[in-house]
Amino acid sequence: MKLKLSSAAALAMFATAAHAQSAVTLYGVVDTGLLYQSTSAATFQPHAPNLGHVYQLKDGGIYSSYWGLKGSEDIGGGYKINFKLQGAFNTTNGKFGLADTPGTTAIFNQFATIGASGPFGSIDAGRQIIPMIYAMSETDVRGAQYFGSILTAWLGVNQAAGWPGTSTNAPIGALYDSNALVYNSPKFYGASLALEYAPGGVAGQFQGGTRESAVLKYSNYGLNLAAVYYNGHDTNPFPLTYPAAPAVPATGLANNRFYYFGAMYTISGFSISASYGIGKNPANTNTADFEMASGGL
């Protein structure tokens, strides 16, 4: 009996010690306010009618409202197993949103990843904000936060490029990718590399729906530099009439290519940034072709 009790006590102590090495955090942001808008377009189409002025309770002034869970388990030797679950919601009605497929919603629509980190860097698998967005944020004085930022410029140019988006991802470039494998390297004298590959999972079509991107960054002495290459196949295959009309079948053609170069310098709390981006649809150059230049103080 004493042996059994001792074993149980040792097991309990081991479980407590193992639990102490793990950490789970619940976090989030609630951002809402009142909005007055002098004009309101019916859609993002070039000649959409003006519906007039709008007064409303508006979610997302600086950030979108979101909540999430993240955690890590230390497995020793400087290695950890990590997970992150994060979803945006609308504070005005409590609904989740931002699913890639029109007409559907998801709870964890921004992050649903599991991965590992260590001396080699980190690798994460699942739906996530892609390296391109972090590179744009780190070379923008507004940090890609809504009004007046590189993010609103990129989304705005996308809408004006003649290929209206029908999901949370823009026609050129992307904010989120599902089924993504993302590797982030450690910094080496201020330089780091991020690589992404997202298998499309389309039967009989190896390149159908795939994504690949590479980001090279440098951060040191107050200077941030970033270069981005993003390429997607079968981006936004949904017509504006979806789900009434069927989705366009996957072809595997590269129809989403984005290049970005950005720089920001900060000294004594003062920052200046500049960037240049090119967006193209290689499969149909008449569909979307734009250049984007931005600067900020």
pLDDT digits (tens, 9 = 90+) for 192-227: 999 999 998 888 888 888 999 999 999 999 999 999
Mean pLDDT of 82-93: 93
pLDDT of residue 244: 62
pLDDT at 4: 46
Please provide the average confidence, as pLDDT, over all residues in the chain. Answer: 84
From first CA to last CA, the distance across the chain in angstroms is 74
Over 70: is that where the pLDDT of 1 sits?
no
Q: What's the CA gap between 154 and 140, in Å, rounded?
A: 12
pLDDT of residue 71: 96
**Quick check: is 88 in a domain?**
no
- Let me know if residue 185 belongs to a domain: yes
pLDDT bucket at 15, cuts 50 / 70 / 90: very low
Give the neighbor-by-neighbor strand order of the sheet with 191-198. Answer: 22-29, 66-76, 79-88, 111-118, 121-129, 176-184, 191-198, 211-220, 223-233, 254-267, 270-280, 289-296
More confident residue, 29 or 164: 29
**Per-residue confidence (pLDDT) for residue 5, from 0 to 100:** 43
Q: What is the distance between the alpha carbons of residues 168 and 157, in angstroms, rounded to a whole number?
A: 15
- For residue 41, being part of any structural domain is answered with no
Do the domain assignments include residue 107?
A: no
Domain membership flag for residue 217:
yes
| Residue 172 domain boundaries | 130-297
| pLDDT of amino acid 169 | 67
Which tens digits make up the pLDDT trace of 225-265? 999 999 998 876 665 565 566 666 778 888 889 999 999 99
Inside any domain, residue 159: yes
Nearest Cα neighbor of 215 from 145, 136, 291 is: 136
Q: Say which residue, 18 or 236, is predicted with more confidence.
A: 236
Beta strands in the chain (DSSP E): 22-29, 32-37, 54-59, 66-76, 79-88, 111-118, 121-129, 176-184, 191-198, 211-220, 223-233, 254-267, 270-280, 289-296
In a domain, 10, yes or no: no
Per the structure block, which two tokens stand in for 86? 């994060």
Q: Which has the closest alpha carbon to 128: 151, 109, 107, 102? A: 109
Task: Report the number of distinct structural domains present in the chain.
Answer: 1
Residue 286 lies in a domain: yes
Assign 3 a pLDDT band (cuts: 50, 70, 90). Answer: very low
Q: Which of 268, 252, 260 is nearest to 291 (CA)?
A: 260
CA distance 58 to 64: 10
Q: Answer for the pair 68, 85: CB distance below 8 angstroms, yes or no.
A: yes
Identify the pLDDT of residue 188.
Answer: 96
Classify 244 as helix, strand or coil: coil
